Amino acid sequence: MISIKDLHKSYSIGNSSLHVLKGINFEVEEGELVAIMGSSGSGKSTLLNILGMLDIADEGDYILDQVPIKNLNETKAAKYRNQFLGFVFQSFNLINYKSALENVSLPLYYQGIKRKERQEIAMDYLEKVGLKEWSTHLPSELSGGQKQRVAIARALASKPKVLLADEPTGALDSTTSYEVMDLIQKINQEGKTILVVTHEEDIARMCKRIVRLKDGVIIEDKNINQVLASSYV
Amino acid sequence: MFSRDRWSEIFETISKNKLRTFLSGFTVALGIFIFIILFGLGNGLKNTFQEFFLDDASNAIFLNPGRTSMPYKGFKSNRRIEFKNEDLDDIRQNFSLFTEYITPRISRSALTKYKNQSNSYSTRGVAPGHQFIEKTIIMKGRYLNQTDIEERRKSAVIGRLVAKDLFKDEDPIGKYIDIGSSAFKVIGVFQDEGGDNEERNIYIPYTTRQLMEKSTDRVDQIVVTFPKELGHAGAVAFEASLKKYFKDKKSIDPRDPNGIYFRNLTDDLKRSQQFAVVLQLIVSIVGLGTLIAGIIGISNIMVFVVKERTKELGIRKAIGATPKSVIQMILQESIFITALSGYLGLFLGIVVLKNVGLRLEDYFIKNPFIDMSTAIAATLILIVFGAIAGYIPAKRAARIKPIVALRDE
């Protein structure tokens, strides 16, 4: 599903340049649930941003579902993001003046789906994350966990190939975190490929595979026995 | 551009961001509103000016007798110069090519009565040509004619306000009024663009006036009009030869600045026109300044709006909005708001201008108006600049990477 080879990325800070990713190689098969771990500054978010086409690598190949991702202009990147990827952010990033339902249906709007159909699909996904009754509420009227579930529903609504989650539990307490991870595990069990960036060990243990980054290189890549989040809830 | 879905998305955004919508809409509406009011009032000022100074015929020369200040040909100085009826004929004969109408004017103030109404009005003894000099408009009946002059009839043409004062609702034509103890038959009622004072005059044949004053043939003032084709230079030359002729005839030293006075209206006209140009310039500058202030206002708001939306735009881009669709959304929104509120400001401005228009005549502003094309052009300019002001930051916002926009808190 995902294949990256020899990925490099550096940022220039003033006159000096900071080499963040120093040759990353890894593959993700369809249906995997991968945790990308590392302390802050290890390059894990940069990697996720490149995978999410929110950022562009300096060097290296990136193939997503047999499509080589290169020479991206903004328009092309936007189309790929809309087609292939769903995002879940630490700070939820919901549009604050739109209701839960409208937030979820927004990616469908950019896919050119008609309003009525859009709302039906969005409602289905809200139901799936258990927030059907909250569809008309604004993000400000929802709890952190609920917001993240709306964000997950939004990420899923466009039927992406891959779900990218950047510290999805970072802003949540542990109980809510496990609820969100339970949801992510269920989505994974339905066959969705999911990448989770986290620095929390217990969250990483709920994935099927852990990739550890340190100083811009992969220091460990192993499959693990998944801990079911439902056992904590 | 006309997809229903996109419009509903825009309406949703507009209605859910009321403050933002209000701010940008208000700026444009206010800009247009003030522009229309100021421009309209400026035009009103211009109207008043034109009424004051451009009412009478501009191709006239007024000849006024004075007193000499130099001895000449055996006459002492300080001699009173007088015009006589024969002077009128002399002008007619000697300057026939240069004159259109010649009329004397003998002004007297007299108590005028009708039944039990009375008031003091200025009575002018004139010839028929006077109608064209004052641009008198006959509302009812007729003006004085040559027969009135020759037969020294007691005919009177009264101003609209004289008729209103003395006759109320009665029809004045054919009635007799008492002017300074003589009965005059009212043969006409006139109005004059020159305003209320002009409409409180009464015109009678100058010969009748002379008869009343013990059959003198003295004339207070002579007014001569010349063909407009003479132009300003021709008029000045005509005035000079007329002056020379009269100084010679009345034995006034050619160097004497007094003796007789001439007032040439073309000079006034030229000055008035220059002033009108300056007035127009001031009105235009005020209008332009308001418009520029409006443009700056809407530009500021647009920059602020796009800045405020940076994160939202980042989110939209992360979930699949292309840069083009982001720019289009912002532009469509801003044009929609500015067009709507611009129209509102336009409408309000014109309504207010119409309603205050009549109440401002005391303040030298008459019939303030703005022509539609100017108003619409101003509105369009604001809309276009609002769009440009939105486009530049929108383009920048659409170009920044979503990851940067998302970090923007």
pLDDT tens for A40-61 read 878 888 888 888 888 888 889 9
Query: Residue A228 corresponds to which tokens in the numbers above?
Result: 């079911």
Residue A28: its pLDDT value, please? 92
In angstroms, the separation between the Cα of residue B14 and the nearest Cα of chain A is 10
Search chain A and give the residue with CA nearest B402. Answer: A54
CB–CB of A137/A87 below 8 Å? no
pLDDT per position as a tens digit, B145-173 = 888 888 888 888 998 888 888 888 888 88
Closest CA–CA distance from residue B377 to any residue of chain A (Å): 35
From the CB of residue B132, how many other CB atoms can be counted at a distance below 10 Å?
18
Q: What pLDDT does B1 receive?
A: 46
Per-residue b/e over A170-195, b at no fewer than 16 CB within 10 Å?
A: bbbeeebbbbbbbbbbebbeeebbbb
State pLDDT tens for residues B362-388: 676 777 777 888 888 888 888 888 888
The pLDDT tens digits of the residues spanning B340-361 come to 898 999 899 888 888 877 676 6
Flag whether residue A146 sits within 8 Å of chain B, measured between CB atoms. no
Which residues of chain B make contact with A161, given a CB cutoff of 8 A? none
Residue/partner pairs of B211-218 with CB below 8 Å, 24 or more apart: B211/B152, B212/B180, B212/B182, B217/B84, B217/B85, B217/B86, B218/B82, B218/B83, B218/B84
Q: Which of B194-198, B260-264, B325-329 has the lowest mean pLDDT?
A: B194-198
The b-or-e profile of A96-134 (16+ CB within 10 A means b, else e) is ebbbbbbbbbbbbbbbebeeeebbebbbebbebbebeeb
**For residues A132 and A125, what is the distance between their CA atoms, to the nearest angstrom?**
8
- Residues in B closer than 8 angstroms to A111, CB to CB, are 320
The answer to whether B16 contacts A158, with C-beta atoms less than 8 Å apart, is: no
Query: Mean pLDDT over all residues of chain B?
Result: 83
Average pLDDT over chain A, rounded to whole? 89
As a residue count, chain A comes to 233
Is B219 in a helix, a strand, or coil? strand
Region B391-399 average pLDDT: 84
DSSP symbol at B257:
S
Burial of B248 (0-12, 13-18, 19+ CB in 10 A): exposed
Contact B5 A55 (CB under 8 A): no
pLDDT tens digits, one per residue of B4-56? 777 888 888 888 888 888 888 888 888 889 888 888 888 888 777 776 665 56
**% of chain A residues with pLDDT over 70:** 100
Query: Cβ(A85)–Cβ(A52) under 8 Å?
Result: yes
- Rounded Cα distance, B171 and A226, in Å: 111
Nearest to B319 among A55, A115, A154 (CB): A154
Contacts with A, B 386-405, CB within 8 Å: 398-399, 401-403
Report all structural domains of chain A as residue ranges with CATH numbers, in order of start. Answer: 2-231 (3.40.50.300)
Closest CA to B144 of B206, B57, B235, B212: B206
Is the ipTM of this structure higher than 0.90?
no
Residue bearing the bigger pLDDT, B24 or A99:
A99
Question: A233: pLDDT confidence band, cut at 50, 70 and 90?
Answer: low
pLDDT at B139 over 70: yes
Alpha helices in B3-56 (DSSP H): 4-16, 18-53
Residues of B in Cβ contact (< 8 Å) with A52: 318
- Residue-wise pLDDT for B226-243, tens only, equals 887 777 788 888 888 888
- Is B318 close to A109, i.e. CB distance below 8 A? no
Nearest CB among B5, B13, B321 relative to A78 is that of B321
Q: Averaged over A32-36, what is the pLDDT?
A: 93
Place B407 in a pLDDT band, splitting at 50, 70 and 90. low
Instruction: Please choose, from the candidates B102, B120, B132, B114, the residue with its C-alpha nearest in 3D space to the C-alpha of residue B206.
Output: B102
> DSSP for chain A?
-EEEEEEEEEEEETTEEEEEEEEEEEEE-TT-EEEEE--TTSSHHHHHHHHTTSS--SEEEEEETTEE--S--HHHHHHHHHHHEEEE-TT----TTS-HHHHHHHHHHHTT--HHHHHHHHHHHHHHTT-GGGTT--GGGS-HHHHHHHHHHHHHHT--SEEEEESTTTTS-HHHHHHHHHHHHHHHHTT-EEEEEES-HHHHHTSSEEEEEETTEEEEEEE-PPPPGGGT-
- Residue B345's H or E segment, with its range, is helix B323-357
Q: Tell me how far apart the 2 most distant CA atoms of chain B are, in Å.
A: 109
pLDDT band at B214 (very low <50, low <70, confident <90, very high): confident
